């Protein structure tokens, strides 16, 4: 890593993005090998503009998180098919809460850096995030390949405990927004990075994933 810090290995997960809604996301989440199903929360997309984030829906409508090797759960070709290395930072984005606001960001690196440099700077961003965000949970997922074309370099999962926290605790101090922006500018392409709000349907595998977390990629 850039600062010499030794980072713990993550676990392998598959993330596929689809342009169609599942007929029954609850049933899909219960399928073999499925960790979670995220469906774009169109009712809450207006909250994005309150934070200065583009509020239009992304090209995909569903993210399926699964164990590697799981049979593709939907028909057709996914928008993205990513083998990822998962790194919990703090909290649990899979916590079942009707009040929580869950944002996923498909993060694309700056054109000025390569994927390896992106990985170092993105992972080290957790140090800034711990002090300057009021998230209930934060998790990073790194693309295990150096992406070409439209695929992202990482997927971030960010949970705020409520809409009130989304408005009032996204940042922890007056100077936090500028400090965070300065750090992410070192690795992130804001125009290419896509963030949206989702509803998460938890799969059977999510409950026991902590036990799998001890097995490195």
Residue 217 predicted with pLDDT over 50: no
At residue 205, the pLDDT reads 66
d(CA 52, CA 189): 15
At residue 170, the pLDDT reads 97
At residue 8, the pLDDT reads 65
What's the average model confidence in pLDDT over 148-175? 95
Contact 90, 138 (CB under 8 A): yes
Query: 3-state class of 128 per DSSP?
Result: helix
For the chain, what are the domain ranges?
A: 11-212
What's the average model confidence in pLDDT over 109-117? 95
d(CA 126, CA 110): 18
Q: Which residues pair with 109 in a beta bridge?
A: 188
Handedness of CA 3, 8, 14, 18 (dihedral sign): negative
- Could you identify the residue written with the tokens 């073999």? 32
At residue 209, the pLDDT reads 57
For residue 181, give the nearest of 44, 51, 88, 91 by alpha carbon: 51
At residue 114, the pLDDT reads 95
What's the average model confidence in pLDDT over 151-180? 97
At the top level of CATH, the class of 11-212 is: alpha beta
What share of the chain has pLDDT > 70, as a percent?
90
Between 138 and 76, residue with greater pLDDT: 138
Q: What are the pLDDT digits (tens) for 9-48?
A: 789 999 999 999 999 999 999 999 999 999 999 999 999 9
């Amino acid at each position: 890593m850039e600062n010499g810090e030794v980072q713990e290995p993550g676990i392998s997960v598959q993330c596929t993005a689809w342009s169609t809604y599942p007929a029954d996301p609850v049933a899909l989440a219960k399928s073999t090998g499925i960790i979670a199903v995220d469906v774009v929360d169109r009712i809450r997309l207006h909250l994005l503009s309150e934070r200065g984030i583009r509020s239009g829906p992304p090209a995909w409508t569903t993210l399926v998180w699964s164990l590697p090797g799981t049979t593709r759960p939907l028909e057709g070709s996914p928008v993205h098919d990513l083998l990822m290395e998962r790194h919990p930072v703090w909290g649990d984005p899979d916590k079942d809460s009707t009040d929580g606001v869950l944002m996923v960001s498909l993060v694309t690196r700056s054109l000025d850096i390569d994927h390896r440099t992106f990985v170092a700077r993105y992972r080290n961003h957790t140090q800034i995030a711990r002090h300057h965000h009021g998230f209930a949970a934060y998790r990073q997922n790194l693309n295990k390949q150096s992406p070409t074309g439209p695929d992202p370099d990482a997927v971030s999962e960010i949970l705020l405990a409520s809409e009130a926290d989304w408005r009032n605790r996204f940042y922890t101090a007056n100077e936090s927004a500028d400090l965070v922006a300065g750090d992410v500018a070192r690795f992130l392409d804001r125009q290419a990075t896509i963030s949206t709000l989702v509803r998460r349907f938890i799969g059977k595998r999510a409950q026991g994933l902590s036990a799998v977390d001890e097995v490195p990629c």
